[in-house]
Amino acid sequence: MSASVWHRLQARLQKSLPPEEFRTWFGPLAVESESDRRLVLRAPNQRFLSSLEEVYRPMVDRAVADLQGASFEVLFSVGEAQPAAADEPFETRYQFETFVVGNSNQLAYAAARAVAARPGRSYNPLFLYGGVGLGKTHLLHAIGHSIRHSHSKLQVKYLPTEQFVNELINSIRFDRTAAFRERYRSIDVLLVDDVQFLGNKERTQEEFFHTFNTLYNAGKQIVLSSDSSPKEIPKLQERMVSRFKWGLVTEIEPPCYETRMAILKRKSKERGHELPEDVARLLAEHVDTNIRELEGAVTRVIGYATLSGQSITADLARRLLRDVFSSPRGQPSMEDILRVVTAHFGVKVTDLQSKKRTNAIALPRQVGMYLARKITRHSLEEIGGFFGGRDHSTVLYAVDKIDRESRQDERFRELIATFLGQLQRAT
């Protein structure tokens, strides 16, 4: 595939050079043409090209010979770099339809939908923030997809902040700041990912401020993502912080247990499999702060089971994901709690998670909720989710009730103490 020679060549060179150096020399190059025999790269000016040839030519030739064989050649030309096309494709996986909505991301999702439906006229800018792997990039791409589809005349650009920074540095280096500014003027919807990388970068902020204002004043839609709220971004100028807050600022939080289960089911289905309930529960419980990791766990388990022809069981998952599961937790898991409670009361896990309200089930369930509240860091909501989708008030009620009973009934108090003792030893 000749179309990927440049990508593969870059990957190869990236391995042999420090990132800074790689960016400096290979970042400013653009592909002029590619065929089966030859790759032509455009350098921004003659002086740059001379140094590049002198220092890096042997390395480039070696890498290309390795990748494509000795008859393939790389040539350089000199000329103005074309502006990055505004219509690069978006990740097809990252659509609204594949995004699982739960309490933790509902507002962000709704806002993203509103922006996609009426670009420039609902929230501007829309600022989404939250931890790593919680779906910010997914939502940005989803907005892009959706606008391309239903407002096909609009120019939509997805821009990782690092790319903005690199393009800007190069435009300064090669005296092209005017062209740099110009290329953002024609954009109708700008989706800027990871703006926390603007922190500590004075000159970039200056330029970004300019771009932001130009677009904003022309009624263009701006969507920003960040790993923290505007005011928590280190050394972000006050005027930027205040502009970022002009529209809507909304947080994506880590998903609760039920959402994690829904995501697991969705992801395994997308991969053509259904996870058995106990395996899904095991994963949802252990991987609780990062959806990318949750996805990685699904991929690993399904991939292995498929390749080895084994069926997917909790044991297999435990074995494969030992590294994920053995991360220091310092607290007993929900699984440990279920184990001691079901063993003592002689009930099944599925009973505890069912809607049944008979006393024989309700009491063990309440004990389970109580123990989870006392010795894990899960929220009331998560605990409720774990015990069959009950809300936080049900958990609070259970905690109160078990507290009261153990005050009044000495034997019950001892039973609870025994559970706690077993669980402390379990870790």
Output 105 or 333, the one with its CB closest to ligand ADP.
Answer: 105
> Which part of the chain contacts ligand ADP (CB under 6 A), choosing from 94-102, 176-184, 347-355, 359-367?
94-102
Rule CB under 6 A: choose which of 39, 63, 74, 100 binds ligand ADP: 100
Output 298 or 312, the one with its CB closest to ligand ADP.
Answer: 298
By CB under 6 A, the residues from 213 to 272 that bind ligand ADP are 263
Output 104 or 333, the one with its CB closest to ligand ADP.
Answer: 104
Output 68 or 104, the one with its CB closest to Mg ion.
Answer: 104
By CB under 6 A, the residues from 265 to 324 that bind ligand ADP are 291-292, 295
Q: Which does 424 bind (CB under 5 to 8 A by kind): Mg ion, ligand ADP, none?
A: none
Whether residue 125 is preceded by a cis peptide bond, meaning omega within 30 degrees of 0, is yes
> 313, 316, 339: which is closest to 426 by C-alpha?
339
Q: Which does 298 bind (CB under 5 to 8 A by kind): ligand ADP, Mg ion, none?
A: none
Helix axes 5-16, 19-26, angle to 10 degrees: 140
- 161 in contact with Mg ion (CB under 5 A): no
Question: Per the structure block, which two tokens stand in for 419?
Answer: 């559970």
Output 125 or 255, the one with its CB closest to ligand ADP.
Answer: 255
Rule CB under 6 A: choose which of 44, 119, 125, 135 binds ligand ADP: 135
Output 52 or 301, the one with its CB closest to ligand ADP.
Answer: 301
Q: Which does 200 bind (CB under 5 to 8 A by kind): Mg ion, ligand ADP, none?
A: none
- 136 in contact with ligand ADP (CB under 6 A): yes
DSSP H helical ranges for 132-175: 136-150, 161-173
List Cα–Cα distances, 379 to 134, 288, 327, 402, in angstroms. Answer: 18, 12, 20, 18
Output 166 or 290, the one with its CB closest to Mg ion.
Answer: 290
Report the nearest approach of ligand ADP to the CB of residue 136 (Å): 3
By DSSP bridging, strand 30-34 and strand 38-43 are antiparallel
Q: Which does 291 bind (CB under 5 to 8 A by kind): Mg ion, ligand ADP, none?
A: ligand ADP
- 132 in contact with ligand ADP (CB under 6 A): yes
Q: What's the helix, strand, coil split of the chain in %, to 5?
A: 60, 10, 30
> Which part of the chain contacts ligand ADP (CB under 6 A), choosing from 91-99, 213-221, 301-309, 314-322?
91-99
Contact 257, 104 (CB under 8 A): no
> Which part of the chain contacts Mg ion (CB under 5 A), choosing from 75-83, 133-141, 227-235, 356-364?
133-141
> Which part of the chain contacts ligand ADP (CB under 6 A), choosing from 131-139, 207-215, 335-343, 390-398?
131-139
Q: b/e per residue, 108-122, with b = 16+ CB within 10 A?
A: bbebbbbbbeebbeb
Cα-based torsion angle of the residue sequence 396, 402, 404, 406 in order, rounded to the nearest 10 degrees: -160
Q: Which does 105 bind (CB under 5 to 8 A by kind): ligand ADP, Mg ion, none?
A: ligand ADP
> Which part of the chain contacts Mg ion (CB under 5 A), choosing from 137-145, 150-158, 167-175, 357-365?
137-145
Rule CB under 6 A: choose which of 42, 113, 138, 260 binds ligand ADP: 138
> 150, 152, 232, 137: which is closest to 191 by C-alpha?
137
192 bridge partner residues: 159, 224
> 171, 229, 240: which is closest to 201 by C-alpha?
240
Q: Which does 373 bind (CB under 5 to 8 A by kind): Mg ion, ligand ADP, none?
A: none
Distant-in-sequence, close-in-space partners of 239: CB < 8 Å, separation ≥ 6:
209
As a whole number of angstroms, the distance between CA 244 and CA 161 comes to 15
- 137 in contact with Mg ion (CB under 5 A): yes
Which run of H or E residues covers position 249?
strand 248-252
Contact 221, 124 (CB under 8 A): yes
> 35, 39, 44: which is closest to 64 by C-alpha?
39
Report the nearest approach of Mg ion to the CB of residue 227 (Å): 8
The site map against Mg ion for 89-128 (x = CB under 5 A) is ----------------------------------------
As a whole number of angstroms, the distance between CA 15 and CA 52 comes to 18
Question: Per the structure block, which two tokens stand in for 59?
Answer: 């390395």
126 φ/ψ angles, rounded to the nearest 5 degrees: -100, 125
- 197 in contact with ligand ADP (CB under 6 A): no
As a whole number of angstroms, the distance between CA 126 and CA 122 comes to 9
Output 336 or 382, the one with its CB closest to ligand ADP.
Answer: 382
Contact 386, 334 (CB under 8 A): yes
Give the total of residues touching ligand ADP (CB under 6 A).
16
Site residues (vs ligand ADP, CB under 6 A):
94, 98-100, 105, 132-138, 263, 291-292, 295
Site residues (vs Mg ion, CB under 5 A):
136-137
